[in-house]
Amino acid sequence: MDTVSLTELAAQHLEIARAAESKRSAITVYGGRERHLRQTLLAIIAGHGLDEHRSPGEATLQVITGRIVLRSATRSWELEPGSYVEIPDEVHAVDVIEDAAFLLSVVKRESHTR
């Protein structure tokens, strides 16, 4: 098993995001179709984010760099480097305040029934 520097990966993907039309970049750090757990590093430039959506399963978010706001209909969390939060099982969105990279960990719902 290889060691991954999330800090270095975040810096690389923030550079990619700055050049991208969408102003974001993502890479799967662990998992995929053959795994229940998927961990994805997302890098998004300030002023952009993730539109309202529902999580495909249990999920957590850990900020590596930058500042973001995770918001749902009932609550919002302002998160900075080192912050870790369980994503609510309801429609939510992410607003990026300062160029940010974060690790999204999701256990897919269908894995609970196996």
Residue range 21-39, pLDDT digits in tens: 999 999 999 997 888 999 9
- Give the three-class secondary structure for 19: helix
Q: Tens-of-pLDDT digits for all 114 residues of the chain?
A: 689 999 999 999 999 999 999 999 999 999 978 889 999 999 999 999 999 998 878 999 999 999 999 999 899 999 999 999 999 989 999 999 999 999 999 998 764 444
Model pLDDT, residue 110: 67
The tally of CA atoms less than 13 A away on the side-chain side of residue 59 is 22
Domain ranges within the chain, ordered by starting residue? 6-108
Of the candidates 16, 28, 17, the residue with the CA atom closest to the CA atom of residue 105: 28
Distance in angstroms (rounded) separating the CA atoms of residues 30 and 40: 7
> Could you confirm whether domain 6-108 is CATH 2.60.120.10?
yes
Model pLDDT, residue 112: 46
Of the candidates 52, 45, 38, 35, the residue with the CA atom closest to the CA atom of residue 68: 45
How far, in Å, are 5, 55, 60, 87 from residue 93 at the CA level?
26, 10, 13, 10
- CA angle (84 as vertex; 103, 114 as ends), nearest 5: 65
